[in-house]
Amino acid sequence: MKKLIFALIVAVIGYQFFMGKQATAPDLPQQLSLESYAISSGNLVLVNRDIQLKQDPTNLAPIPTDIAENVIVNSEFLFENQAIKPLKQLFDAAANDGIEHFIINSAYRSGKLQQQLYEEHGADYALPSGHSEHQTGLSLDIGSTAGKMENVDEGKWLEEHAADFGFILRYPEDKVDVTGINYEPWHFRYIGLPHSMIMKKNNLVLEEYITFLKKEQFYTTEINGTSYFVQYTDNKTTANIPDSETYIVSGDNENGYIITSIIE
Bridge-based pairing of strands 218-223 and 226-233 is antiparallel
Contact indicator for 54, 111 with CB cutoff of 8 Å? no
Q: Which residues are catalytic?
A: 184
Task: Tell me the C-alpha distance between 91 and 20, whole Å.
Answer: 32
3-state secondary structure (DSSP) of residue 231:
strand
- Reported residue count of the chain is 264
Task: Tell me the C-alpha distance between 53 and 247, whole Å.
Answer: 23
The helix (run of H) or strand (run of E) holding residue 87 is helix 84-96
Which residues have a Cβ under 8 Å from the Cβ of 227 and sit 6 or more positions away?
220, 221, 262, 263, 264
Contact indicator for 67, 84 with CB cutoff of 8 Å? yes
- Of 252, 259, 258, 198, nearest to 47 by C-alpha is 252
**Cis peptide leading into 194, omega within 30 of 0?**
yes
Which residues does residue 221 pair with via DSSP β-bridges, in sequence order?
228
